[in-house]
Copies of this chain bind each other. A is one copy, B any other.
Amino acid sequence: MSNQTQRLPVLDQCCLPLVREPLAELASAELARMFKALSDPVRLRLLSMIASYGGGEACVCDLLGAFDVQQSTISHHLRVLREAGLVDCQRRGTWVYYWALPTALNRLASLLTTEGPVSA
């Protein structure tokens, strides 16, 4: 279930802050895909619930109750987050667990930061 979508090669060398230098065209396309995954309230709450859940991962069954949409819709949003490289998942027996990918989140964060030192 992991790694079934393509990698995001551009992100391996990008991530100077936006304010430091103009974004290249290729990088902007990849980054826009990641931000698009964050551009829906349901997905944002899903990511937040997953990332803040005890143990750093959450079963889909833990997430469903918090939303007023159908289970298939949640599954769709989880897939969008996964294809954007923001979360990954694994089936364990009957249940599927999701966890956030900190590297991706921190890269987006450092891109938006306008102050202080930068890791990349």
Residues of A within 8 A of B (CB): 18-23, 25, 28-29, 31-32, 35-36, 38-45, 47-49, 51-52, 66, 100, 102, 105-106, 108-115
Contact = CB atoms under 8 A, between A and B. Distances in A.
Given A28-B42, A36-B40, 12 more contacts: A18-B44, A18-B105, A21-B52, A22-B45, A22-B48, A32-B38, A35-B44, A51-B114, A102-B114, A108-B112, A109-B111, A109-B112
- How many copies of the polypeptide does the oligomer hold? 2
A112 B66 CA distance: 21
16 contacts: A18-B44, A20-B52, A22-B45, A23-B49, A28-B42, A28-B44, A31-B38, A31-B44, A35-B35, A35-B38, A35-B39, A35-B44, A36-B40, A102-B114, A106-B114, A109-B111
A113 B108 CA distance: 8
